């Protein structure tokens, strides 16, 4: 079964084509476009390429297209990307302005270009459906909660892949199996020994998730992907009183405040250098104090959230790093794990330094009680598997 995964960034379009056969999968092709302002030409060009490279005879040979939709109002899980999904994306478009409009446009584009090819959405919030009410409820009036304002959690496909892969690496087939079946058979009960993972997805946008026995217990991201760690150019956590105060003192509107928090904050806002972690790291190394502050603040926030989940889960067996920064920034990984010998965390500097550029590996010392691992992100595979199941139903 040929399944295309469409990854629609606010300024990019990336894709992967999989051939799925039961649990087995092989990736046939991948590609992408940067600085995208319109999706239709990219999708047309992608189809042309897939055909000329011999992966497809025509677009309609695709069995399904999968979308990593972000936040739906009153909707999550893996579902057909129909009008209900478009309405759910529309319902929360103000909450995820960088993501929801892009996915709505992308889904409509495929509907127009390939009307007969099934479209399936896997929401990034799906992995968090077993979170406890005490963990997802904000202490706000009922009328606000009735609007759907609560913690959701994001990067679900990525963290779910980490839940499965860490279990495999630790030889815990019971947990790996549970994770693979989550969206089919639900969480059920779990009798095995605990497997607790502090999962750090650190990329253009970043989050930390606590995973106990294959289930997410919480995320640093809350109501929107705007919260939690400092992001590339988005703010992360901020006290709610800061917005009315800044509006009054700076004489700006709420909309302008929102724009600044969405586009001029995060690593860019703190460093004044760039929204790209590599540039910020370089500037810090050459003595730029603001850039150093930005990197330090990211490390501090990762430790803050990992510490919170460590406490909530009563410990951890694994700390995992994934995505652009997590897979490559050796110094940052060392800083996140520094001084934790008392908790049983000890990094092997050589293993840490050599596990970069898409390499998977254990970077903790052999006598470290908690294993520290680097796992290349593979959210597309998680989506392809769920799409396959949805289409095979």
Instruction: Give the nearest distance from C-beta 382 to ligand ADP in angstroms.
Output: 15
Residues 254 and 247: their CA atoms lie apart, in Å, by: 7
Per CB under 6 A, the segment of 59-67, 214-222, 276-284, 378-386 that binds ligand ADP is 276-284
Q: Which residues of 197-217 are buried (b: 16+ CB within 10 A; e: fewer)?
A: bbbbbbbbbbbbbbbbbbbbb
Instruction: Give the nearest distance from C-beta 274 to ligand ADP in angstroms.
Output: 8
For residue 84, the SS3 value is helix
- Is residue 269 part of the contact set for ligand ADP (CB under 6 A)? no
- Is residue 234 part of the contact set for ligand ADP (CB under 6 A)? no
Residues 102 and 174: their CA atoms lie apart, in Å, by: 38
User: Within 13 Å of residue 351, how many CA atoms lie on the same side as its CB?
Assistant: 15
The secondary structure element, H or E, covering residue 271 is helix 266-271
Instruction: Give the nearest distance from C-beta 342 to ligand ADP in angstroms.
Output: 28
Nearer to ligand ADP, 14 or 212 (CB): 14
Residues 21 and 19: their CA atoms lie apart, in Å, by: 7
Asked if 71 contacts 99 with a C-beta cutoff of 8 angstroms, the reply is yes
Asked if 81 contacts 119 with a C-beta cutoff of 8 angstroms, the reply is yes
Nearer to ligand ADP, 207 or 390 (CB): 207
What's the Cα-to-Cα distance from 284 to each of 1, 217, 236, 272, rounded to whole Å?
48, 34, 21, 11
- Is residue 382 part of the contact set for ligand ADP (CB under 6 A)? no
Asked if 207 contacts 155 with a C-beta cutoff of 8 angstroms, the reply is yes
Nearer to ligand ADP, 317 or 380 (CB): 380
Q: Nearest residue to ligand ADP, using CB? A: 324
Nearer to ligand ADP, 209 or 232 (CB): 232
Binding mask 301-340 for ligand ADP (x = CB under 6 A): ----------------------xxx--xx-----------
- Is residue 231 part of the contact set for ligand ADP (CB under 6 A)? no
Nearer to ligand ADP, 8 or 43 (CB): 8
State both tokens at 35.
């600085």
Per CB under 6 A, the segment of 20-28, 184-192, 198-206, 237-245 that binds ligand ADP is 198-206
Instruction: Give the nearest distance from C-beta 14 to ligand ADP in angstroms.
Output: 8
Nearer to ligand ADP, 207 or 368 (CB): 207
Residues 95-114 that bind ligand ADP (CB under 6 A): none
Nearer to ligand ADP, 99 or 178 (CB): 99
- Helix, strand, coil percentages, rounded to 5, for the chain: 45, 20, 40
Give the count of beta carbons closer than 10 Å to the beta carbon of residue 260: 16
- Is residue 276 part of the contact set for ligand ADP (CB under 6 A)? yes
Instruction: Give the nearest distance from C-beta 61 to ligand ADP in angstroms.
Output: 28
Nearer to ligand ADP, 163 or 202 (CB): 202
State both tokens at 129.
């459906």
Residues 104 and 218: their CA atoms lie apart, in Å, by: 27
CB contact set of 60 (below 8 Å; sequence gap of 6+): 114, 116, 117
Nearer to ligand ADP, 14 or 118 (CB): 14
Instruction: Give the nearest distance from C-beta 219 to ligand ADP in angstroms.
Output: 15
- Is residue 277 part of the contact set for ligand ADP (CB under 6 A)? yes
CB contact set of 262 (below 8 Å; sequence gap of 6+): 97, 98, 226, 233, 234, 235
Per CB under 6 A, the segment of 30-38, 85-93, 214-222, 272-280 that binds ligand ADP is 272-280
Instruction: Give the nearest distance from C-beta 24 to ligand ADP in angstroms.
Output: 26
- Is residue 205 part of the contact set for ligand ADP (CB under 6 A)? yes
User: Within 13 Å of residue 379, how many CA atoms lie on the same side as its CB?
Assistant: 24
Question: Would you tell me which residues interact with ligand ADP (CB under 6 A)?
Answer: 203-205, 232, 276-278, 281, 323-325, 328-329
């Amino acid at each position: 079964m040929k399944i295309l995964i469409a990854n629609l960034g606010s300024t990019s379009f990336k894709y992967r084509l999989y051939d799925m056969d039961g649990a087995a999968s092989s990736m046939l092709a991948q590609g992408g476009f940067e600085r995208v302002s319109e999706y239709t030409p990219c999708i047309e060009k992608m189809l042309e390429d897939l055909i000329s490279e011999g992966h497809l005879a025509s677009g309609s040979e695709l069995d399904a297209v999968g979308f990593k939709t972000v936040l739906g109002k009153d909707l999550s899980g893996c579902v057909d990307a129909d009008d209900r999904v478009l309405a759910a994306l529309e319902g929360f478009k103000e909450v995820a302005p960088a993501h929801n409009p892009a996915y709505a446009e992308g889904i409509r584009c495929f509907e127009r270009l390939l009307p007969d090819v099934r479209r399936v959405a896997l929401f990034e919030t799906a992995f968090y459906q077993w979170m406890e009410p005490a963990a997802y409820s904000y202490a706000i009036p009922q009328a606000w909660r009735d609007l759907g304002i609560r913690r959701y959690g994001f990067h679900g496909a990525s963290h779910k892949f980490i839940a499965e892969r860490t279990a495999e690496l630790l030889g815990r087939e019971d947990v790996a199996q549970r994770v693979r079946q989550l969206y089919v058979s639900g969480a059920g009960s779990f009798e095995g020994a605990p497997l607790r993972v502090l999962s750090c997805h650190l990329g253009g946008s970043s989050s930390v998730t606590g995973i106990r026995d294959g289930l997410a217990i919480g995320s640093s991201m809350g109501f929107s992907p705007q919260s939690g760690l400092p992001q590339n150019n988005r703010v992360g956590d901020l006290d709610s009183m800061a917005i009315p105060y800044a509006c009054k003192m700076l004489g700006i509107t709420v909309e302008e405040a929102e724009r600044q928090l969405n586009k001029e904050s995060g690593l860019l806002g703190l460093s004044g250098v760039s929204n790209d972690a590599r540039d910020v790291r370089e500037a810090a190394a050459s003595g730029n104090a603001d850039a150093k502050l930005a990197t330090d603040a990211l490390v501090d926030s990762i430790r803050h959230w990992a510490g919170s989940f460590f406490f909530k889960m009563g410990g951890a067996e694994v700390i995992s790093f994934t995505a652009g920064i997590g897979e490559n920034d050796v110094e940052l990984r060392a800083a996140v794990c520094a001084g934790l010998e008392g908790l049983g965390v000890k990094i092997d500097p050589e293993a840490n330094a050599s596990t970069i550029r898409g390499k998977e590996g254990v970077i903790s010392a052999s006598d470290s009680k908690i294993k520290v691992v680097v796992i290349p992100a593979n959210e597309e595979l998680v989506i392809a598997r769920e799409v396959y199941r949805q289409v095979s139903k």
